[in-house]
């Protein structure tokens, strides 16, 4: 209840701020969307649909940023949810939700909320931010600070609480220092990154320390063109214990053809020896949910015009049985209104941790209105 009150206070403070400072260069800019999803989830076993359940979600996203960002900015994004049925079940015991009745949950997710100060030769930002290192679309071992949410069909990333210093070194280059501090300072994560562009190729190097598991990480990434777009990442994870040292890499490519099709393929490999790990230890691995040795992503999008897009994505665990199949159709109904429908099939456990034979089929219909 206290959490709901705090969120409510934040929301109304923001609205009040926009009313008090209505001038062009003062106050906050608001944007976002309202989206409603209605879905059905089935358990698939022995090639038949055995048990189904309703899953509903209403999302109100509020993005805000101060209008004059010359010397700094406050950048925030909050998702407010009303979750029902299957969508609310896994979150019922979380602290930032408010249960209404048996199955409906009010929930919020603070995606980002940070303050950035712009000095002459560097930017300093503190707070919850979305950090994206590397070039990988789904597999991105160089991406140090967050994990991919595979339940999100758009493969969006979650915010992390960090302090970041970014120093531009050229028009397209920068040097970054990012730290996720913890109470025990030795548990903190810290990473440096340099990114620059040369001869049409974008290069990136990282060196960091992952405190909790005591890993030193160094890696590189690139993105360039040889008719097709190619990109890749390599990371070496050094630990004092020799049997915990491992490397990861991914290579990917994208190509568009016949004017309306775009394809993408990515391959990921890690050399981590996970034979003696418990499932809980496996879930805590930095490269979770891609715990098995190697994975592949295949994606095909068909966009006949601005109104319609069909996307098929397939992620396969190549070491063990397990794959995810997403099929999404998006239709822009009007200027700011979209319709979506999708089917998602989760065959066994993509991470390879649990030897489960239970599969899950989920389908949903959604609308969103952008403001």
Partner 1 sequence: MNKIIWYIVFLCICGLGFSITGDEILRRVDANLNFKNAIINAKMEIYLPGQQPRVKIFRTYIIEDQKAYTEFLNKEDKNIRYLKLGKQLWIHDKSENNTILISGHLLKQGMMGSDISYEDMLESEDLYSKYTSSLEGEDKIKNRDCYIILLKAKTDNVAYHSRKMWVDKEYYISLREERFAVSGRLLKTVEVEDFKLFGTRHYPTVSVVSDKLKANTKTIISIQNIDFDTSIQDSIFTKRYLER
171 is an interface residue for partner 1 by CB under 8 A: yes
Q: Compose the 331-360 pattern: x for residues touching partner 1 by CB under 8 A, - for all others.
A: -x-xxx------------------------
Among 26, 225, 273, 321, binds partner 1 (CB under 8 A): 225
Whether cis (ω within 30° of 0) applies to the bond prior to 173 is: no
Q: Is 118 in the site for partner 1 (CB under 8 A)?
A: yes
- Between residues 33 and 107, which has the closer beta carbon with respect to partner 1? 33
Report the DSSP beta bridge partners of residue 314. Answer: 298, 325
Between the alpha carbon of residue 314 and those of residues 31, 257, 265, 310, 350, the distances in Å are 32, 19, 10, 14, 11
CA distances from 237 to 138, 231, 244, 248 (A): 20, 20, 8, 8
Q: Which of 13, 31, 94, 281 binds partner 1 (CB under 8 A)?
A: 31
Query: Cα-Cα-Cα-Cα dihedral of 181, 183, 185, 186, to 10°?
Result: -100
Q: Which part of the chain contacts partner 1 (CB under 8 A), choosing from 44-52, 100-108, 181-189, 219-227?
A: 219-227
C-alpha to C-alpha distance for 60 and 80, rounded to whole angstroms: 5
255-294 binders of partner 1 (CB under 8 A): 255-256, 259, 262
Q: Does the protein bind partner 1 through residue 117 (CB under 8 A)?
A: no
With beta carbons less than 8 A apart as the criterion, state whether 18 and 27 touch: yes
Phi-psi group of 307: left, alpha or beta (phi > 0 → left; psi -120 to 50 → alpha; rest → beta) = alpha
Compute the distance between CA of residue 250 and CA of residue 296 in angstroms, rounded to an integer: 9
What tokens does 327 get?
């099929």
Question: Is 13 among the residues that bind partner 1 (CB under 8 A)?
Answer: no
**Residue choice 14, 78, 105, 131 for contact with partner 1 (CB under 8 A):** 131
Question: Scanning residues 140 to 159, which ones bind partner 1 (CB under 8 A)?
Answer: 156-157
CB of residue 107 to partner 1, shortest distance in Å: 20
Instruction: Please identify which residue in 132, 182, 212, 284 interacts with partner 1, judged by CB under 8 A.
Output: 132
**CB closer to partner 1, 225 vs 319:** 225
Give the footprint of partner 1 on residues 172-211 (CB under 8 A). 172-174, 197, 200, 202
CA 5 to CA 21: how far, in whole Å?
24
The yes or no reply on residue 361 touching partner 1 (CB under 8 A) is no
Question: Given candidates 67, 112, 244, 316, which one binds partner 1 under the rule CB under 8 A?
Answer: 112
Given candidates 68, 168, 284, 355, which one binds partner 1 under the rule CB under 8 A? 168
By beta-carbon proximity to partner 1, the closer residue of 93 and 334 is: 334
Identify the DSSP state of 18.
Answer: H
Provide the minimum distance between the beta carbon of 346 and partner 1 in the complex, in angstroms, as a whole number.
Answer: 24
User: Does 109 participate in binding partner 1 (rule CB under 8 A)?
Assistant: no
Cβ–Cβ < 8 Å for 144, 206? yes
Type and span of the H or E element at 281: helix 279-283
Residues 6+ apart with CB under 8 A from 285: 272, 274, 277, 291
Question: What tokens does 129 get?
Answer: 């931010």
Which spans of this chain sit near partner 1 (rule: CB under 8 A)? 31, 63, 69, 73, 77, 112, 118, 123, 129-132, 156-157, 166, 168, 171-174, 197, 200, 202, 223, 225, 227-229, 254-256, 259, 262, 303, 305-307, 332, 334-336, 370-371
């Amino acid at each position: 209840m206290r959490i709901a009150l705090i969120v409510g206070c934040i929301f109304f403070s923001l609205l009040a701020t926009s009313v008090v400072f209505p001038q062009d260069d003062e106050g906050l800019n608001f944007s976002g969307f309202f989206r409603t999803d209605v879905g059905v989830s089935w358990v698939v076993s022995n090639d038949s649909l055995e048990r189904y359940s309703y899953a509903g979600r209403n999302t109100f996203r509020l993005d805000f940023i101060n209008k004059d960002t010359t010397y700094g900015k406050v950048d925030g994004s909050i998702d407010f949810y009303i979750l029902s049925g299957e969508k609310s079940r896994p979150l019922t015991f979380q602290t930032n939700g408010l249960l209404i009745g048996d199955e409906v949950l009010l929930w919020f997710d603070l995606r980002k909320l940070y303050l950035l100060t712009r000095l002459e030769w560097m930017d300093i930002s503190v707070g919850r931010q979305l950090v994206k290192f590397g070039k990988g679309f789904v597999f991105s071992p160089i991406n140090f600070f967050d994990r991919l949410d595979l339940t999100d069909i758009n493969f969006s990333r979650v915010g992390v609480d960090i302090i970041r210093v970014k120093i531009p070194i050229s028009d397209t280059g920068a040097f970054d220092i990012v730290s996720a501090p913890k109470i025990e300072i030795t548990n903190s994560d810290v990473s440096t990154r340099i990114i620059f562009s040369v001869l049409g190729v974008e290069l990136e190097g990282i060196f960091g320390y992952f405190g909790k598991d005591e890993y030193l990480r160094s890696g590189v990434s690139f993105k360039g063109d040889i008719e097709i777009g190619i990109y890749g990442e390599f990371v070496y994870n050094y630990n004092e214990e020799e049997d915990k040292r491992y490397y990861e890499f991914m290579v990917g490519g994208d190509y568009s053809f016949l004017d309306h099709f775009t394809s993408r393929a990515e391959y990921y490999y890690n050399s981590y020896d996970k034979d003696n790990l418990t499932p809980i230890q496996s879930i805590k691995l930095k490269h979770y949910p891609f715990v098995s040795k190697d994975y592949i992503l295949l994606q095909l999008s068909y966009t006949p015009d601005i109104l319609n897009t069909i996307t098929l994505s397939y992620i396969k665990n190549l070491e063990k049985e397990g794959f995810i199949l997403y099929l999404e159709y998006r239709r822009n109904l009007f200027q700011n209104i979209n319709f979506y429908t999708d089917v998602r099939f989760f065959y066994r456990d993509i991470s390879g941790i649990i030897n489960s034979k239970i599969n899950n089929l989920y389908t949903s219909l959604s609308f969103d209105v952008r403001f």
